[in-house]
Amino acid sequence: MAWIDDELAARNWTLKLIVSTHGHWDHIGDNAAVAASTGADIAVHPLDRHRLEDPQPLFAPFEIPPSVPAVELAEGGVIRFGAIRLVVLHTPGHTEGSVSLHAADDGLLFSGDTLFAGGWGRVDLPGGDPAAMVESIARLTAFEDRTAVLPGHGQATTIGRERAWMELVRDGGRLFA
């Protein structure tokens, strides 16, 4: 955690909130340590709260300590970082409590593991639900093409670049191989 503390100090920033877009180990593995080091609260959707409080590491290469969320990420909730206003979107499918964060004024979507460049997050892991993922992908087709998508893994993309396959999922009502 020293590097996080060093980076925060170099920028004269204070970390106030650790946002967990979902509760899989690769997104929450250091929540407890970062919270202890910085004093930041941890936020998660209530349907994934249990994944933080009683983590199931599945393929994790290290132990995942439990963490205690202090903030609920609910549909329509707002998180502010300076001038940036992020609206919480409940986008289940990868897990029951997966969320995305939309900064409409800035044309940004932090999609967690819901939407990637060229695809969607796995639905075969604990909490996965293909039908819910279809609904979440369909919901994201409503965003403007210029919306930049910053996923939990991989390269950034835009809704416009992903639109064709997203609409196939939406219109077909199912995920495809």
pLDDT tens for 54-73 read: 998 888 999 999 999 999 99
Count the alpha carbons within 13 Å of 28 in the hemisphere toward its beta carbon.
29
pLDDT at residue 40 is higher than 80: yes
Is the distance from CB of 47 to CB of 96 less than 8 angstroms? yes
Is the distance from CB of 95 to CB of 104 less than 8 angstroms? no
pLDDT at 58: 83
Enumerate long-range contacts of 71-79, CB under 8 Å, 24 or more apart: 71/17, 71/41, 71/42, 71/43, 71/44, 72/43, 72/44, 72/45, 72/46, 73/19, 73/20, 73/43, 73/44, 73/45, 73/97, 73/99, 74/45, 74/46, 79/17, 79/19, 79/43
pLDDT at 46: 98
Q: What does the pLDDT look like over 154-163, one tens digit per residue?
A: 999 999 999 9
Work out the pLDDT band at 1, boundaries 50, 70, 90. confident
Full-model pTM? 0.95
- Collapsing DSSP to helix, strand or coil, 138 comes out as helix
Read off the pLDDT of each residue in 96-120 and give the average, rounded to a whole number: 98
- What DSSP assignment string belongs to 19-54? E-SS--HHHHTTHHHHHHHH--EEEE-GGGHHHHHS
Tokens coding 167: 């609409």
- Collapsing DSSP to helix, strand or coil, 49 comes out as helix
pLDDT at 7: 96
Length of the chain counted residue by residue: 177
pLDDT at residue 30 is higher than 90: yes
pLDDT at 130: 98
To the nearest whole percent, how much of the chain has pLDDT over 70?
100
pLDDT at 98: 98
**Mean pLDDT, all residues of the chain:** 96
Determine phi and psi for 49, rounding to 5 degrees. Answer: -55, -45
- Looking at domain 74-177, which of 3.40.50.12280, 3.40.605.10, 3.20.20.80, 3.60.15.10 is its CATH number? 3.60.15.10
Biggest alpha carbon distance in the chain?
49
pLDDT at residue 169 is higher than 90: yes
Residue intervals in the chain for CATH 3.60.15.10:
74-177
